[in-house]
Amino acid sequence: MASETPLDLSRALAELPGQALTAQCLSYSPYSKFRVGAALLTTDGQVFTGCNVENASYGACICAERTAFVKAVSEGHTSFRALALATDLKDKFGTPCGICRQFMSEFGTDLTVILVKPSGDTRSYPLSDLLPIAFGPDDL
Ligand SMILES: O=c1ccn([C@H]2C[C@H](O)[C@@H](CO)O2)c(=O)[nH]1
Ligand SMILES: [Zn+2]
């Protein structure tokens, strides 16, 4: 396969918010009614989507971000470029919970996290800004 060009990367990044919004449609959230979607871009240009999946045993709920990461890692991917996160919040940007920040940081804190409003508005942060001085694999 040909190596990824900068044009491919900018197109992949531009498409990621829409893919997170599409993934949000599959949210299984009958308890919180808080619908979340995620789209995760690997460094080799593949995209894995995820949504939050809730459970009658509330503690068993899994967030959209971790759904996307578990799908990707279980298919052999451990190198990631960006994750887009879509919520229904209109007046502010929804942000990843603490567990997800830690979970994502396992695979590198240079990940770009793209927050997405229902309007399609975005705001991006390096994961290292969302989880400074993280505890990670190099600390063990
Ligand atoms: O970044 C977040 C924050 C929350 N949730 C989910 C967990 C639960 O299903 C619902 C309410 O917390 O939203 C996510 O998927 N991602
Ligand atoms: Zn979370």
> Global pTM?
0.96
State pLDDT tens for residues 58-85.
Answer: 999 999 999 999 999 999 999 999 999 9
pLDDT at residue 1 greater than cutoff 70: no
* CATH class of the domain comprising 9-126: alpha beta
Q: Which atom of ligand 1 is nearest to the CA of 35?
A: 13
Residue located nearest, by CA, to atom 1 of ligand 1? 96
Smallest CA-to-CA distance from 116 within 4, 13, 17 is with 17
**CA-CA distance, 95 to 89, in Å (whole number)?**
10
pLDDT at residue 4 greater than cutoff 90: no
121: how many CB neighbours lie within 10 A of its CB? 11
**CA-CA distance, 76 to 93, in Å (whole number)?**
31
pLDDT at residue 7 greater than cutoff 80: no
Pick the ligand that lies closest to the CA of residue 52: 1
Residue located nearest, by CA, to atom 15 of ligand 1? 63
How much is the ipTM here?
Answer: 0.99
102: how many CB neighbours lie within 10 A of its CB? 14
Average pLDDT of span 114-139: 97
